[in-house]
Structure 1
Amino acid sequence: MAKEEDFSDPRIPNRDACVLRYLVDRWAAERPEKAHVVFADGDEWTFAELQKKVRAKAAGFRELGVRQGEHVAVWLPNGPDALLAFYAINYIGAVFVPFNTAYRGSLLQHVIANSGARFLLVHPDLLPRLSEIDLAKVEQLVVTTNGEADFAPLPVTRFDSLCGDENDPLPLDRPIEPWDIQSIIYTSGTTGPSKGVLSSYLHMFSNAGPESWPMVGEDDRYMCVAPIFHIGGMGPPFVMLARGASVAMIDNFSTDEFWSVAKATQSTVVFLLGVMATFLLKAEPGPGDRDHTVKKAFMVPLTGDAPAFTERFGVDIYTIFNMTEISSPIVSEANPIKIGTCGTVRDGVEVRLVDTNDCEVPVGEIGEMLVRTDRPWAMNSGYNANPEATAEAWRNGWFHTGDAFRKDEDGYFYFVDRVKDAIRRRGENISSFEVEADVCRHPAVREAAAIAVPSEYSEDEVMVVVAPVPGKSIDPHNLAEFLIETMPYFMVPRYVRILEELPKTPSAKVMKAELRSEGITPDTWDREAAGLRVRRESFSS
């Protein structure tokens, strides 16, 4: 285990508290028999077993030629190979650079070139996509499993053969520091090329560590259903490692199997992103609703269904606001009563809501959220090989999230919209996020996207594009009548378009730019043309 270092700045934890290599060694010494990871098939790695596996694989990467500080690209689905690669790459001080398994064509070529990686670890089923693109600086492919590698355009080494001596001390050029880059995670925007977020060990630690998520402790087990190439899938193993705790790594989210898998893996904490909570609530009630071990759930965003979720499934609900680039600046208490909030500012973080000139807006008004932290290196270190995007995001010494919020008198923050997605209709500013939340309360709607489309009167009209719950159909007239009763008159969508699935980026963000460009299609239903009009309320004087 690394010698403990006391840094002069008390805001920076010791290396063995936040650097992956030293955490693996620390817990193998202090808690060798405790499980750190369990998989859906029942396989389990204790901290002692984890250390042996990681050291052997790290030695194999070193023998292959991977050096400290080098970027190693990883293109794998969730599973033991992906997790082991993540830990082994970091163990020798190299940088873990995961790619989305949905990438192909020009997007795949872009991220490979941007990564600057010489080594690419890849699943054999993905190899044919590599023959279609320029592999930039990649010199060597490492291929998992025993699948065919006939389509490999470069020399291949099998991942299983990367197995060095687990007792190799693996000396470093220098100690791995908390501010060293641990990973590059690509965020796929809905309009521009993906950007590689440079994240230090201290950024990952601050993102969901003990000070950011005090409700998660060393006795918890975090069930991770997000892919490891997202912060939501890469972060949980690391933050539970920082606690000397455990994580359940699950291949993907399944509504039908969610609670049974949680019980089988003895998970106590889950993260419900986007429509996951909606899917679970809209599933038929069953005996598994309360027959599980889950005690705490993060619901993002927090919807009006939260109390019903707690009542039905017996879990405490928390919510946060976060993104890959920052470190959970807004966190709620248990079971917040202010529905729609993201919580309040946590200790160690400063948040401002500003106008287009970075001037702070009054309480209650909408502004873009800017963030900075007291601790050095607690947020992103910029965008890889993209100084222009880095300078734009970090202008005036604050990180610009691109998200519009409002804050109430009690200090609670409420997400309004992506700045570029706001809708203005007949003098009223409308949050597409709030429209979508109301639309998704309809029992037949699985997911929704609200967009602005041109109005013949000026400004915008509101359009929603919806997808149905499996086995159900959406009647646009019925949906409109439902919304007239539940939302302000000016927010009620004029147009409804029904699709089986909403178009999404490889990181599962709805492609609103594509929907806006398609506009009012022939299959779009028009509420006003159907004779269903909404009137402003009048009041007697």
Structure 2
Amino acid sequence: MQIISDLVRVRAEDSGQGVFCSFRGRRTTFEQLRNGVQEMAGALIEVGVKPGDRVGLMLSSSVEHMELFLAIAWIGAIAVPFSIHLKSAGLELQLNSAKPRVLLANRVHADAIRQALTAITQPLSVVWFEADVDREGEFHLDALLRASRAVLSSVARSADHPLLISYTSGTTGAPKGGVLSERFFWVGTKNAAILSEAHPDDTYFLWEPFYHGAWSTVAIALQKGCSIHMVERFSASRLWDQIAEGGATKLHYLGGLVNMILSQPGIESERNNNISIAWGAACPADSWRQFEERFELKVREGYGLTEGQNFTHMNLHGVVGSMGTPIEELECWVIDDHGKRVGPGVAGELVLKPKVASVVMSGYWGEPERTAEVLRDGCVYTGDLVMFDEDGHYYFKGRKKDAMRRRGENVSAWEVERVINAAPGVEESAVLGVSSTLGQHEQEILAVVKLRDGTNPDPLSILKYCEQRLAYYQVPRFLQFVNDFPRGPSQRIQKKEIVADLQNAWDAEKAGVKPTRTV
């Protein structure tokens, strides 16, 4: 097994002039990638990063972003990707949790970052990707690169060493940072390559943001010596033209995107595409064959989670609707509410047991109690409901957790409620997931709101308040106003008893209001 910095070095030696990535008309070879990583490593050391330090990344897609991530590993530090859509409220939570020594960011996020910095206690240096006049404690990357020297040798570390902290909002409460090792990354990449049938002559189409999923594609290119064609963001209307421009052969999808792509009118480039496999998770079962037939490709479905693996299950046999069978590095079974194992055809919670501990996350950063809720007796209790059939194929059946899946992102109800409850005139709220037209694994967000006495409903004002503080995919679409909530003996809101009245709820989509998306 080779750790990530070894892969950077090996690819530069055996495939140096091969194209690693094409982006915005520029081609970067594996040799140029290694050189860039070594230069970025020097810049990180210049700003004070040491082995074991956390380094935050809040950057848009670019080759330099890849180099920075790999440079963090090169010098033995730990990467902490932050969503580029976070506003001050969400950023504050994650900065206080991860406590990075340095945060590298685009200046478009300056207001949110500076506001969040007023609420954190630990010292933090901010490095701006773009040059400009800086405040005290702030730097810009070009200046650090000019002042530093390239670091030619990487720091040796084991397969069990933490590589990154990946924040997830998959359950109630504040976001949690899953600590993922070099082994976790290597195994995840190996299985993603199997699922997508990676070959050295492949070109992977990369549209995902780097805080969510993109690193698997980068690592596939490093493991297999294949290429990446990267675009700045996903566009359903331009997808097939972009794929044709890059000569891409493999496409990654996330649930709702399948129906979004299918809803587009037919164009010439979709009929002449070179994509052989679309790989990913949560492909709607009723769109599966239509997607394959229209675009003349194979769907390769999988299932994974931050706590367990990029892919804990892979469907290599084309069983429509199935998330597949367990990977070789994991054992798994299904339990009922009493912890007893159940057989075929019965839905229950999925439990994973790694054959080597660091195949799964080592825990949530700085949160031993929340870690103990998920990692028990050497197993990962996923909180996800699944069922398996007589042939051992597993099927996703929902989530036990108080969370929603929107636009391919896990959204914590608690995190959204925290912001809504602080909005002017709001006394309390409950956030629920409701069905979406984008597929069975996608949801829209309904916020049920109780106002303070004497306050008149103003849904647009609440929406705008949320938009300023939450990522676009966290902003509710529906607002429903109630006089009170169903409550239990402790006065806790009983969400299961809330009746979602979408017919009479305020609908942002019908009102023509769309949350602003940071780019």
TM-score range normalised by the length of the shorter chain: 0.7 to 0.9
Describe the superposition over 1:392-420 as per-residue Cα deviations: whole angstroms up to 9, x where unpaired.
10123210111100100011111000124
How far apart in 2 are the matches of 1:519 and 1:43? 50
Amino acid at match of 1:278: N
CA contact (8 A) 1:187 1:507 kept: no
CA contact (8 A) 2:162 2:180 kept: yes
* Cross-structure match for 2:313: 330
CA contact (8 A) 2:126 2:138 kept: yes
Aligned-residue offset at 1:344: 1.4
Percent identical among aligned pairs is 24
CA contact (8 A) 2:334 2:348 kept: yes
* Cross-structure match for 2:20: 36
How far apart in 1 are the matches of 2:323 and 2:441? 22
Aligned counterparts, 1:57-456, within 5 A: 57-133=40-116, 134-147=119-132, 149=134, 152=135, 154-163=136-145, 168-170=151-153, 172=155, 175-189=156-170, 191-210=172-191, 213=194, 215-230=197-212, 232-302=213-283, 303-327=285-309, 328-333=311-316, 336=318, 338-420=319-401, 436=435, 440=438, 448-449=443-444
Describe the superposition over 1:303-325 as per-residue Cα deviations: whole angstroms up to 9, x where unpaired.
22111111111111100011122
Q: Secondary structure at the match of 2:72?
A: helix
Q: Secondary structure at the match of 2:377?
A: helix
How far apart in 1 are the matches of 2:348 and 2:191? 29
How far apart in 2 are the matches of 1:416 and 1:346? 19
Distance 1:405 1:92, change over 3 A: same
How far apart in 2 are the matches of 1:72 and 1:514? 38
How far apart in 1 are the matches of 2:444 and 2:127? 40
* Cross-structure match for 1:466: none
How far apart in 2 are the matches of 1:513 and 1:391? 35
Determine if the alignment matches structure 1 residue 520 to structure 2 residue 501: yes
Aligned-residue offset at 1:363: 1.4
Amino acid at match of 1:78: S
Describe the superposition over 1:297-345 as per-residue Cα deviations: whole angstroms up to 9, x where unpaired.
01421322111111111111100011122221210125x1x32111112
How far apart in 1 are the matches of 2:102 and 2:438? 44
Amino acid at match of 2:75: I
Distance 1:320 1:514, change over 3 A: farther
Matched residues, number: 438
Determine if the alignment matches structure 1 residue 53 to structure 2 residue 36: yes
Higher alpha-carbon Rg:
1
CA RMSD of aligned residues (A): 3.2
Aligned counterparts, 1:524-535, within 5 A: 524=505
How far apart in 1 are the matches of 2:442 and 2:89? 28
Aligned-residue offset at 1:358: 2.3
Q: Secondary structure at the match of 1:111?
A: helix
CA contact (8 A) 2:130 2:141 kept: yes
Aligned-residue offset at 1:114: 0.8
Distance 1:513 1:360, change over 3 A: farther
CA contact (8 A) 1:77 1:101 kept: yes
How far apart in 2 are the matches of 1:397 and 1:446? 29
Distance 1:362 1:260, change over 3 A: same
Determine if the alignment matches structure 1 residue 26 to structure 2 residue 10: yes
Q: Secondary structure at the match of 2:247?
A: coil
Aligned-residue offset at 1:446: 12
Aligned-residue offset at 1:191: 3.4
Describe the superposition over 1:204-253 as per-residue Cα deviations: whole angstroms up to 9, x where unpaired.
111131587252233322222111011x1222212321222222232211
How far apart in 2 are the matches of 1:104 and 1:298? 31
How far apart in 1 are the matches of 2:171 and 2:25? 37
CA contact (8 A) 1:344 1:412 kept: yes
Aligned-residue offset at 1:350: 0.6
Q: Which moved more, 1:202-211 or 1:122-131?
A: 202-211
Q: Secondary structure at the match of 1:131?
A: helix
How far apart in 2 are the matches of 1:374 and 1:155? 45
Distance 1:171 1:247, change over 3 A: closer
Q: Secondary structure at the match of 1:310?
A: helix
CA contact (8 A) 1:320 1:330 kept: yes
Amino acid at match of 1:141: V
Amino acid at match of 1:267: A
Describe the superposition over 1:137-194 as per-residue Cα deviations: whole angstroms up to 9, x where unpaired.
2331111113564xx5x4221111232666643464xx22111111111112363211
CA contact (8 A) 1:351 1:371 kept: yes
CA contact (8 A) 1:188 1:507 kept: no
Q: Secondary structure at the match of 1:305?
A: helix
How far apart in 2 are the matches of 1:395 and 1:115? 23
Q: Secondary structure at the match of 2:174?
A: coil
Q: Secondary structure at the match of 2:338?
A: coil
Aligned-residue offset at 1:80: 2.5
Aligned-residue offset at 1:447: 6.3
Aligned-residue offset at 1:373: 1.9
CA contact (8 A) 1:217 1:243 kept: yes
TM-score, length-normalised on structure 1? 0.74
Amino acid at match of 1:243: K
| RCO comparison, higher one (Cα < 8 Å, 6+) | 2
Q: Secondary structure at the match of 2:286?
A: coil
Amino acid at match of 1:317: V
How far apart in 1 are the matches of 2:201 and 2:186? 18
Q: Which moved more, 1:276-285 or 1:160-169?
A: 160-169
How far apart in 2 are the matches of 1:121 and 1:391? 32
How far apart in 2 are the matches of 1:376 and 1:189? 22
TM-score, length-normalised on structure 2? 0.77
Describe the superposition over 1:29-66 as per-residue Cα deviations: whole angstroms up to 9, x where unpaired.
11111111221x12111111111111011112112211
How far apart in 2 are the matches of 1:518 and 1:238? 45
Aligned-residue offset at 1:124: 1.0
How far apart in 1 are the matches of 2:210 and 2:99? 20
* Cross-structure match for 1:478: none
